[in-house]
Amino acid sequence: MPYIYTEWEQFTTKDGLPNDHIFAVKVSGDHVWIGTENGLACLNKKTRQIKSWTEKDGLPWRVVAAIDVHPKTGEVWLGLFGGGLARFSGGRFDHWHQLNSGLVNDVVYGVAVEHDNIWAATTAGASRYNTVTGEWSIFTEKNAPMEEIWNYGVSYADGLVYLGIWGSGVLEYNVARGTWKDYLDPDGEMEIDLYRDDGVVHVITTGVSYIDQVLWVTTYFGGCRYDGRHWRGYFAHDCGLPSDFCNAVKGRGANEAWFATDKGLGVLADFATDTWVTYTSDHKTHKGKAVVQRGHEVLAEIETPPSLPHNYVLWAEFDGNDAWLGTSKGLGHAIGRGYYPGLIESTE
């Protein structure tokens, strides 16, 4: 059986969050940065204290939709939903928007640090800001293979930037070469994937995560995995994905990924055996449930304490053996005591 998270914590406005609707979570050392509908928060894992910043504290815009932290400088970069791009460093916010910079649009869905560059995924294309030279680059349908320009997510790893685009599938930007490659749904723009495992399951892409040379993708019509040669599509009717309506995905390596959906958390615990663990919480009984599934077959249903603050999950972030989940009603913390990656035992 795969590892099951049975220890959970939940954090809400009662614990100091400025808002329970959480769009983004980013772990950096002892700090958990949290982007909410009404401010930025930071949970200190050692002291268990939460500090928050709203517009009255200098935050340029109240809705924080995306967060990334520069691994060298520790600067916190924020994608603001309607407010542009911000940097939080030394207790001060710096702000870039359409009127004072090369940011192509102020509605920023995603942000990613790539060396000295900061990528912002916006509703009118992608912008890249070089923090050393101050130069801006803008990518739209005019200079990149975007059929649509609504950029919904961005991820960087191993010299590759991936953009998840509403209506244009996934774009891959090779930083060293300065070249683009697109991944589109071969079936066309339709709500049913006619031929499985032939590419991105749908062009309305909501999340991208690249790790260990594997690309994980989510859409509003299912999820998928690409290892550079083969695609694998995932749908709620034939695996442990709780819903095809996926908000985001986070890969934990080539064999494990966490899918944030509108009906719970779907964890592909082991790609090789197609083993899933689906986490949901019953908010009436205050109980949680983890369903272990392999393909169509349900192997076990395990009762847990309340796991997710809400089944509408918007973000997943890893922290060693632990994980943090942003939901529409608070922050969930999955405590991984005894977690061992790839621990899948035979159920025969």
Tracing tokens 């320009």 back to the chain, one arrives at: 149
Whether the predicted pLDDT of 195 surpasses 70 = yes
**Looking at the domain assignment, is residue 2 inside a domain?**
no
Among 164-173, 215-224, 268-277, 278-287, the minimum mean pLDDT is found in 278-287
**Looking at the domain assignment, is residue 343 inside a domain?**
no
Beta bridge partners of 331: 11, 326
**Looking at the domain assignment, is residue 138 inside a domain?**
yes
**Looking at the domain assignment, is residue 85 inside a domain?**
yes
- Distance (Å, rounded) from C-alpha 163 to C-alpha 90? 30
**Looking at the domain assignment, is residue 186 inside a domain?**
yes
On whether the CB atoms of residues 17 and 34 are closer than 8 A, the answer is yes
| Averaged confidence pLDDT in the chain | 95
Pairing of strands 50-53, 64-69: unpaired
On whether the CB atoms of residues 251 and 209 are closer than 8 A, the answer is yes
What's residue 187's pLDDT? 79
- CATH number of the structural domain spanning residue 258: 2.130.10.10
In the chain, the amino acid numbered 173 is Y
What's residue 190's pLDDT? 66
**Looking at the domain assignment, is residue 1 inside a domain?**
no
pLDDT tens digit sequence for 84-118: 999 999 999 999 999 999 999 999 999 999 999 99
Range of the domain at 319: 7-335
Total structural domains in the chain? 1
- Distance (Å, rounded) from C-alpha 240 to C-alpha 197? 17
Whether the predicted pLDDT of 194 surpasses 80 = no
Q: What percent of the chain has pLDDT over 70?
A: 97
Q: pTM for the complete prediction?
A: 0.96
Cβ within 8 Å of residue 8, ≥6 positions away? 288, 304, 305, 306, 307, 308, 332, 333, 334, 335
**Looking at the domain assignment, is residue 277 inside a domain?**
yes
- Distance (Å, rounded) from C-alpha 277 to C-alpha 269? 7
pLDDT tens digit sequence for 16-63: 999 999 999 999 999 999 999 999 999 999 999 999 999 999 999 999
**Looking at the domain assignment, is residue 28 inside a domain?**
yes
What's residue 188's pLDDT? 73
| Tokens at 245, concatenated | 């309506």
Annotate 265-302 with b (16+ C-beta within 10 A) or e (fewer): bbbbbbbeebbbbbbbbeeeeeebbbbbbbeeeeeeee
Tell me how long the chain is. Answer: 348
Whether the predicted pLDDT of 347 surpasses 50 = no
